Amino acid sequence: MADLKYINNLLKRFVDGLYTRKDADDLLKHFHAGKYNTEISEAMDTVWEEMEEDEVSSLQHQQYREEARLLLSRIRKPEKRFSFIPYLRYVAIVAVILSIGWGGFRLIRSNQEKVLTYTEVHVKNGEHKRVILPDGTSVTLNAGSYLRYPREFITDVRRIEMNGEAFFEVTRDEEKPFLIHTKDADVKVLGTSFNVKAFDMDEQLTVSVQTGKVQVDLPEAMMRLLPDEQFVMDKTKGEFQKRNEDARLSTVWIKGGLYFNRTPIRTVVNELVRMYNRTIEFAPGAEYDDYIYGEHDNKSLEAVLKSIQYSTDIKYRIENDKIVLYKN
């Protein structure tokens, strides 16, 4: 019975658009074993019925469920009970996709990419920069960010690379998906607006959607996001989650503001260094594992530091041209 409950949870994860390579592998193992074929079929029916009976609490859930219905309708044969062969093929395909990610694609396209010429953009601390890509996509880059893109999108994927933070307004092209490659994840879209914060040195990676749909691909998982949803990855723990977040808050930096939502203090300091172009260090001899919350509109660095001091036990002092954070 424990196995059946686990299988049911796996099926629901597929329906919800959040699953890992291990999930796909586990489903394959159960299908190959053939021990619970009848029970798995019944579990599939249960998931299907729950999708039809549950009240839709938001447009986002409705869209997710519509996608799931389309997927399951292709898997199931009309007027017959669940057929395992098509679904087995689907899971196998999913497992392969999750296993190789875009790595296989990069290998296949590597020869073509050799003939491309690239443009590199570096944004200094304390500055912002707006770039228009060859397809008309607008990219607003935050301080300390790096962007690399081909001068012409001649392959069947519009692939760029970045280290930093940027707000994208992607020109829609269903024939050429738009792919942002970062050190820890790939972000794939067709045409939408969203914010990606992926600095190599930060402890968190976030993707926040304003309009359209966004897919985040990780080495071991995939997650889809809709407007006002945010993907958050804790890189130090290897944990990630999807949460509701007002998309406006993720782009306050464009107007000089700051917004933190359970952001590790070290990531906060990295952002302050980039924004104010000041040297900030942690004094030795203490643990700095605090999380910071709150929004700051066009305030000075001193105002932000005082806010941190009021909400934590972290104090600051100025030594020559640098700021030192410390605890008593």
* Tens digit of each residue's pLDDT (9 = 90 or more) over 229-275: 999 999 998 888 999 999 999 999 999 999 999 999 999 999 999 99
Tokens of 210: 């304003």
Give the phi and the psi of residue 53 in degrees, each rounded to 5.
-90, -30
Task: Report, as an integer, the average pLDDT of 218-237.
Answer: 90
The answer on pLDDT for 55 being more than 70 is no
The answer on pLDDT for 305 being more than 90 is yes
**Is the CB of residue 43 less than 8 Å from the CB of residue 84?**
no
pTM of the model: 0.69
Percentage of the chain modeled with pLDDT above 70 = 68
At 9, the pLDDT band (50, 70, 90 cuts) reads confident
CA distances from residue 211 to 60, 82, 246 in whole angstroms, order as listed: 12, 36, 11
Of 40-54, 78-92, 101-115, give the range with the top mean pLDDT: 40-54
Helix (H, G, I), strand (E, B) or coil at 193: strand
Helix (H, G, I), strand (E, B) or coil at 71: helix
Q: How many residues does the chain have?
A: 328
Task: Report, as an integer, the average pLDDT of 92-110.
Answer: 42
Between CA 217 and CA 198 the distance in angstroms is 13
At 116, the pLDDT band (50, 70, 90 cuts) reads confident
Between CA 277 and CA 272 the distance in angstroms is 8
pLDDT value, residue 231: 94
Helix (H, G, I), strand (E, B) or coil at 124: coil
> When comparing pLDDT for 231 and 5, which is higher?
231
Name the DSSP class of 82: P
pLDDT value, residue 5: 75
The answer on pLDDT for 177 being more than 70 is yes
Q: Mean pLDDT, the chain, as a whole number?
A: 80
Q: Which residues contact 110 (CB under 8 A, 6 or more apart)?
A: none
Q: Indicate the class that CATH gives domain 256-326.
A: alpha beta
Task: Report, as an integer, the average pLDDT of 160-172.
Answer: 97
Pairing relation of β-strands 279-282 and 229-234? unpaired
Of 41-55, 95-109, 236-250, 269-283, give the range with the top mean pLDDT: 269-283
pLDDT in tens, 11-33: 766 655 565 667 766 766 776 67
Task: Report, as an integer, the average pLDDT of 73-80.
Answer: 41
Give 272-276's long-range contacts (Cβ < 8 A, gap of 24+).
Answer: 272/301, 272/304, 272/305, 273/125, 273/144, 274/125, 274/126, 274/142, 274/143, 274/144, 275/125, 275/126, 275/143, 276/125, 276/126, 276/301
pLDDT in tens, 273-286: 999 999 999 999 99
Cβ atoms < 10 Å from Cβ of 275: 21
pLDDT value, residue 6: 77
Percentage of the chain modeled with pLDDT above 90 = 57
pLDDT-wise least confident of 88-102, 167-181, 300-314? 88-102
* Residue 167, strand partner residues: 140, 195
Tokens of 276: 């104010």
Between CA 152 and CA 118 the distance in angstroms is 8
The answer on pLDDT for 102 being more than 90 is no
pLDDT value, residue 293: 93
Between CA 165 and CA 180 the distance in angstroms is 12
* Residue 316, strand partner residues: 325
* Fold observed for domain 103-246: Jelly Rolls (2.60.120)
**Is the CB of residue 73 less than 8 Å from the CB of residue 115?**
no
Which among 99, 222, 109 is positioned nearest to 159, based on CA atoms? Answer: 109
Task: Report, as an integer, the average pLDDT of 157-182.
Answer: 96
Q: Where are the domains of the chain?
A: 2-100, 103-246, 256-326
The answer on pLDDT for 145 being more than 50 is yes
Of 47-61, 98-112, 154-168, give the range with the top mean pLDDT: 154-168
pLDDT value, residue 77: 39
The answer on pLDDT for 92 being more than 70 is no
pLDDT value, residue 105: 41
Between CA 253 and CA 257 the distance in angstroms is 5
**Is the CB of residue 215 less than 8 Å from the CB of residue 231?**
no
Which among 2, 71, 58 is positioned nearest to 30, based on CA atoms? Answer: 2
Task: Report, as an integer, the average pLDDT of 296-323.
Answer: 91
Which among 216, 209, 179 is positioned nearest to 194, based on CA atoms? Answer: 209
